[in-house]
Amino acid sequence: MKGVVGFLKSALDLVYPRNCPFCAMPLEETERGVVCGACLGKAKPVMPPCCERCALPFPGNIEGHFTCGYCKDLNFHFSRCVAAYQAEGVVRDCIHQFKYNRQLHFGPHLADWIRQGARRLEWSEVDGIVPVALHSRKQREREFNQAECLARAVSKETGVPVMVGNLRRVKETVTQTHLDAKARAANLRGAFAVKKPEGFQGKRLVLVDDVFTTGATLDGCAKVLSQAGALDVKVLVLARGI
């Protein structure tokens, strides 16, 4: 059966060759996904030195842990953020195609990227993975929650369970895209709630989303998780806005 599937795939590739959506170069038969290796190679990982609180990369030469100027005066309700890649170029474009245009074939690349970031966390100290919740109307329109897709990819890698349905988005908000940090925080005030606090009580959690921009959405979620009794909330995102 595998041989038949492989033959049919090769035949289809001859008639309808797979071309990279970014550079239009044909993909090799061995290349996984829809983006060629050369374009994937342009993705910029977030590597130390970077802020431990928000994962913002720092161009200087700093050793050890540090907090950037953006975070030092903010009282985030999560203890740490890990970001896999910078939210620009091929990474940003793949996220947008997957999230807004339902181009789900970009999903394997997003999963690979966030799993790379996940390897920088100690999963033996985590009880559950919590995806940032979408409002019910938006999820019906989109038909999926991109944060949940990423969370499940991380769960498959780590064996830590995904906790879905207890963290809820109870207030429908306007898009955050063109809002500054202060406006984003105001827009999200009261947007999240926990249905059953006992489900998070005493738990060490990793909150997962696609992009960290100002941290307002993630902080709003972390706040209600902490109020529900979570012992610790860390953040894992696919990409960090720069």
Q: pTM for the complete prediction?
A: 0.88
What is the count of structural domains for the chain?
A: 2
Rounded CA gap, 222 and 81, in Å? 11
pLDDT tens digits, one per residue of 2-61:
443 343 344 334 434 689 999 999 998 888 889 999 999 999 999 889 998 999 998 877
Tell me which residue range forms the domain holding 23.
Answer: 1-36
Q: What is the pLDDT of residues 72-90, one digit of tens each?
A: 888 999 999 999 999 999 9
Q: Which amino acid is at 85?
A: Y
**62 and 77 assigned to the same domain:** yes
**HSE, side-chain direction, 13 A CA sphere, residue 102:** 6
Shared domain for 18 and 52, answered yes or no, is: no
Alpha helices in 84-212 (DSSP H): 89-100, 107-118, 136-142, 146-158, 181-187
Contact in structure between 151 and 187 (CB atoms under 8 Å)? no
Considering the domain architecture, whether residues 14 and 81 belong to the same structural domain is answered as no
On whether both 62 and 158 belong to a single domain, the answer is: yes
